[in-house]
Chains A and B, each alone.
Chain A
Amino acid sequence: MAAKPRVKVPKSAAAGDIITLKTLISHKMESGQRKDGDGNPIPRDIINKFTCTFNGKPVFSCDMDPAVSANPYFEFKAKITEAGTFTFTWVDDAGEVTEMTKDIALK
C-alpha cells in the first residue's frame, strides 16, 4: 500500500446535514486463486478490513473478501451533528495498516 489513499470529505457542514464520503485506495487485491508463470500459486494479499470512525465512534466498517477488485472504492453517508475528525483505516493481509484523517467543521 504505497500510494496515499484518496479521501473526499466536505470541509464543513451544517449540524444535521447528511454528507457523502468517498474513499479510494491503491491495492492490487491479489485473490490467492491465481498462479504465476511457473505454476506456483500467488499468495493472497488483499485489504481485508476497512473502517471509518468519527470522533472515535463507528460510522462504517466492512470486511472484504478476495472477489473485491483492485483499488477498492467506497462511498457512504454520515449525519453530522458536531465538528470533528473522521478516521479512515485500511488493514491488509500482511497486517499493514493505512490510516488517514480528515477534519470537518460546523457551518
Chain B
Amino acid sequence: MNRKLLIVLLGTTSLYSMVSRVALADPSEGPLFIDGEIEMITRTESVEGHPLPEVISGWHYRTESTQALEADSFENPGMLAVEEGEVLWNTVEGSEGKSCASCHDDAAESMATVGASYPKWDAGSAKPINVEQRINMCRVEKMGAEAYPFDKGGQKPMTAFLKNLSLGEPVRIDVEEGEMQAWWERGKEMYYTRTGQLDLSCASCHEKNNGKYIRADHLSQGNVNGFPTYRLKQSALVSLHNRFRGCIRDTRAEMPDAFSDELMALEVYTTWRSQGLSVETPAVRQ
C-alpha cells in the first residue's frame, strides 16, 4: 500500500477514536426499562453523608449493546442462573428432607423485597451477613445440608434468584442495627485506603475518576446494586465478593478471603453508597 495513504488512514482512525472516546466519557442517558415494563432507578440523589451528589448505576457506563442485553430479560444470559436458582428453591436437600420452599413457600411472596435490604445485622454471630451467608445458614441449620462453598454449587444461582425477586426495588441498608455502624466505619476506611503495588484505593477509581477511562475500561461509580452480575468477560455470573477480590488483585495487593470481615465491612459500606438505586440483579456488564 502507498505509504502516504497508510499514514493518512492511520491519522484518521486515531482522530476518530479520540472523538468517540470523548463522546463516550459521560455516563449515558437512560432510562432503563426491563422488558419495557419495570422502570429501574438508575440515577438518584445520594443518601446524606455520601461524597457524590448523585449515585449512578454501572448500567449507564456500558456500551449500547451491553445495555440492551440487560433491558431484555430473555436475552440476559444471567437469567439462566436465575431460573436455575428457582429450581434449587424447590429442591429437597439435606438430612431434614426440606427444600427452601418447605418453609418459605412461594419465594415470589415470601422473598419479594428481601434481596434489596442485605447485608443485615445477625445477632447470633454478632456480624453483618449477606444473602449468600443467609442461604448457607438456612441450609446448615434448617435443612441439614452442606453450606455452599464460595461461588460453588448453587450459591450464585440462588443468590441471583433471590435478589432478582427484588428487581426494581431500591437498595437499602439499616446501618443503625446492632453494631453495623462500626462495620460501616471499617468499610469506609477500607474504601479510602490505598493498597497494592499500584497504590490505589476503591475511591481512586470509583469516586475521583468515575466517568473517565482506565485504559479501555469506562470507570463506573462501583455501585453494588446489580450483583451477582453477568460479566461478558467471564461469560458467567460474578458475585460481589469475587468482584471485590478482582479489583483488589488488580491493584496488586493481597486479596482478603470472600466473606472475611474485611470484605463484609466493604460490602456494608458499598451497599450504603448504592442506596436508592434499583436492584438490577442479574445486571449485565462488560
Identify the A interface with B (CB < 8 A): 3-4, 6, 8, 22, 24, 26, 28-29, 69-71, 73
Pairwise interchain contact B235-A70, C-beta atoms closer than 8 A? yes
Pairwise interchain contact A3-B84, C-beta atoms closer than 8 A? yes
A3 to B235, CA, bound (A): 15
Does any Cβ of A come within 8 Å of B80's Cβ? Answer: yes
Q: Which residue of A lies closest to B76 (CB)?
A: A24
List A contacts of B192 (CB < 8 A). none
Pairwise interchain contact A70-B236, C-beta atoms closer than 8 A? yes
Pairwise interchain contact B75-A73, C-beta atoms closer than 8 A? yes
List B contacts of A71 (CB < 8 A). 77, 80, 235
List B residues 67-102 near A (Cβ within 8 Å): 74-75, 77, 79-80, 83-84
Number of inter-chain CB pairs below 8 Å: 29
List B contacts of A6 (CB < 8 A). 74, 79-80, 83
Seed contacts A8-B74, A24-B74, A70-B77; 8 additional CB < 8 Å A-B pairs: A6-B83, A22-B74, A28-B235, A29-B235, A69-B235, A70-B236, A71-B80, A71-B235
State which size class the interface on B falls in.
10 to 19
Tell me, rounded to whole Å, the shortest Cβ–Cβ distance linking A9 to chain B: 11
Tell me, rounded to whole Å, the shortest Cβ–Cβ distance linking A64 to chain B: 15
Specify the main secondary structure of chain A where it touches its partner: loop
Pairwise interchain contact A24-B83, C-beta atoms closer than 8 A? no
Pairwise interchain contact B83-A3, C-beta atoms closer than 8 A? yes
23 A-B pairs whose Cβ atoms sit less than 8 Å apart in the complex? A3-B80, A3-B83, A3-B84, A4-B83, A6-B74, A6-B79, A6-B83, A8-B74, A22-B74, A22-B75, A24-B75, A24-B77, A26-B77, A26-B80, A69-B232, A69-B235, A70-B235, A70-B236, A71-B77, A71-B80, A71-B235, A73-B75, A73-B77
Q: Which residue of A lies closest to B230 (CB)?
A: A71
List B contacts of A69 (CB < 8 A). 232, 235
Tell me, rounded to whole Å, the shortest Cβ–Cβ distance linking B109 to chain A: 24
A6 to B84, CA, bound (A): 12
A104 to B10, CA, bound (A): 53
List B residues 189-240 near A (Cβ within 8 Å): 232, 235-236
A71 to B189, CA, bound (A): 39
Tell me, rounded to whole Å, the shortest Cβ–Cβ distance linking A76 to chain B: 14
Tell me, rounded to whole Å, the shortest Cβ–Cβ distance linking B34 to chain A: 15
A24 to B80, CA, bound (A): 8
List B residues 227-286 near A (Cβ within 8 Å): 232, 235-236
